[in-house]
Chain A
Amino acid sequence: MNIVVCIKQVPDTEAVIKIAGDGKSIDTGDIKWVMNPYDEFGVEEALRIVKDQGGEVTVIGAGPARVVEALRTALAMGADKAIHIKDDDLYGADPIAVAKMLAKAIEPLGADIIFFGQRAVDDDSGVVSSAVAELLGLPQLSVVTKVELADGKVKGTRPVEGQTLVLEAPLPVVISAQKGLNEPRYASLPGIMKAKKKPLETKAPADLGVERADAIEIAVLNPPPDRAPGKTVEGETPAELAANLAKLLKEEAKVI
């Protein structure tokens, strides 16, 4: 089984996001960068499948030089090799433009399964996996919490609003991973040592024959809308607190 996992490097979810001086991007000065949490589920699932069925796991990440850290993390978890699409200006780019680069990098690898996280926790778009599936002419199983392989087919369990669907597709296939798929392993110390010697290839977008053309353009970033200061609900006893809250919700906020 030949598996590719596309990973993105994102700010840690605890990061405080500040808008940069240009008003269109974020201030990256104090940010701690991590592998997108949803991508960890993809790496873990790929490693489990390869352990069971044999094969190889290749991780691909696009962005500036620091993205190598996220790729090394995946190698330390157990991936076999990595490809870095290096472009210093790529962070914050349009996801469809990034999908075009990833598709070109994936194409020659002959992958049976291509994993993604279901969305990146920075731009929150969640469209790269389906765009790559389209560009490669492959079926997609989006936002899955369970993957089963049998007879050259793959089944993916996908929770949607109020239902759970089991989707089935032939290989090759693009799968986007949702929390619940597995428990991602931590990189062990021997894993981290080994990762340093694993192959990591660097390509420029031009090597892939693509030019970046962003299809969305951020005009401005704004802080979240201000909320009016909160009101402390009065009351000496739990019963009074509850009664006063219920009254406020009914008569003032009118939400119940």
Chain B
Amino acid sequence: MAGVWIIAEQRDGEFRKITYEVASAAKKVADELGTEVTAVVLGSGMEGACADLGKFGVAKVLYGDGEAFAAYTTEAYTNACAALIKDGAPDVVLMGASMQGKDLGGRLAARLDTGIAVDCTALAVDGGKLKATRPMYAGKVYADVFINGTPQIASLRPNVFDISETGAQAAVESVAADAGEVKAVVAEVQAAEEGKIDLTEATVIVSGGRGMKDADNFKILEELAGKLNAAVGASRSAVDAGWRSHTDQVGQTGKVVTPNLYIACGISGAIQHLAGMGSSKVIVAINKDPDAPIHTKADYCVVGDLFDVVPELTKDI
């Protein structure tokens, strides 16, 4: 069968946006290699949804149905995907560098005894092989890597690859997928705070640093974020001060983010922070210190007091 395969990602029976990003990127790689895209979908009661992946360039879907696949677990997905991959022998396997893809990728690569390039931001074909570009040192350098072994596995950073609608309906084939032995199970699912957007998925992030002065002041960022449908992030110093949860931290020891718009408020721009948000598409810095390093990274520099400027901006948007 060969070709380019993707591992789809779903939650509660619906494909996640990353699946469309990966499918669109896979289609481009497949076109260059002169082959087609096959998607592996594991889930429960999802037959109906599978054909729609055709819109994003998927020619064929291998659908494995089972209660064990309703929610992602490492072992069930590894067992089923590895068996299908061994059988179908694709040249390339792509997945999201989401929490699922990051968890699955290493295990799958070890099982198949092949290489994996994680969290890639660009893909190309060079000499018939996949060339993957991936940031290292949180974006302080970018590596072009080749993957030895078959298949060549790569995971793609969310919100970087464009979604392109090219195709029609995919052919869906039901396959026998075996979850095998699963030792680590999901005991409980706790929903996140209502309406809170995860930083790694956000297309707009409003972030605060030491200049916020205390936890309460983040309210003004929350208000701006509410208008922009944005997530609220924080620099390490704001997290270390206890103003925000560690899950909100952007930087080399926090989350590496790639939103379309990143608004840095009262953030000086320590090298660790710049590394974590430096590949945002558009960066705004609001800082009263004109010499703050954040201004050297920003596309739009506002030299002013965030406590005056941010509420005005909220009104204007």
Interface string of A135-175 (1 = CB under 8 A from B): 10011111101000000000100111111111111100100
Q: Which residues of B contact A170 (CB under 8 A)?
A: 183
User: Which listed residue (B74, B142, B145, B295) contacts A140, Cβ 8 A?
Assistant: B74
A123 and B139 alpha carbons, distance in the complex (Å): 10
User: Which listed residue (B139, B185, B279, B300) contacts A233, Cβ 8 A?
Assistant: B300
Contact A233 B302 (CB under 8 A): yes
**Among the listed stretches B46-54, B55-63, B247-255, which one makes contact with chain A, having 4 or more residues with CB under 8 Å of it?**
B247-255
Q: Which residues of B contact A129 (CB under 8 A)?
A: 106
The reply on A193 being an interface residue by CB < 8 A is: no
Interface string of B258-273 (1 = CB under 8 A from A): 0011000000001110
Q: Which residues of B contact A161 (CB under 8 A)?
A: 98-99, 198, 200-201
Contact A167 B249 (CB under 8 A): no
The reply on B86 being an interface residue by CB < 8 A is: no
Q: Which residues of B contact A256 (CB under 8 A)?
A: 204, 228, 261, 317
Known A162-B198, A216-B115, A255-B282; judge A141-B140 contact (CB<8 A). Answer: no
Contact B246 A218 (CB under 8 A): no
A136 and B222 alpha carbons, distance in the complex (Å): 45
User: Which listed residue (A13, A15, A169) contacts B183, Cβ 8 A?
Assistant: A169
Known A130-B106, A167-B184; judge A215-B115 contact (CB<8 A). Answer: yes
Category for how many chain B residues contact A: 35 or more
The reply on B238 being an interface residue by CB < 8 A is: no
Q: Which residues of A contact B107 (CB under 8 A)?
A: 130-131, 133-134, 140
Q: Which residues of A contact B113 (CB under 8 A)?
A: 215
A30 and B302 alpha carbons, distance in the complex (Å): 34
The reply on B165 being an interface residue by CB < 8 A is: no
Main secondary structure of the interface of B (DSSP, over half): mixed
User: Which listed residue (B148, B278, B300, B309) contacts A248, Cβ 8 A?
Assistant: B300
Category for how many chain A residues contact B: 35 or more
**Interface of chain B residues 18 through 33 with chain A (CB within 8 A):** none
Known A127-B118, A168-B184, A219-B146; judge A239-B312 contact (CB<8 A). Answer: yes
Interface string of A234-256 (1 = CB under 8 A from B): 01001101110110110001011
| Distance between A212 CB and nearest chain B CB, rounded to angstroms | 12
| Distance between A159 CB and nearest chain B CB, rounded to angstroms | 6
**Among the listed stretches B35-43, B168-176, B187-195, B211-219, which one makes contact with chain A, having 4 or more residues with CB under 8 Å of it?**
B187-195
Contact A215 B147 (CB under 8 A): yes
Contact A238 B309 (CB under 8 A): yes
Known A231-B301, A241-B302, A255-B260; judge A155-B142 contact (CB<8 A). Answer: no
Contacts A214-B148, A224-B141, A239-B312 given; 4 further ones with Cβ under 8 A? Answer: A13-B138, A166-B186, A180-B245, A255-B204
8 A-B pairs within 8 Å (CB atoms) are namely A13-B275, A16-B271, A165-B188, A166-B186, A219-B143, A225-B142, A245-B284, A255-B282
Please name the 3 residue pairs, one residue from A and one from B, whose CB atoms are nearest each other, closest first.
A215-B115, A127-B106, A242-B312
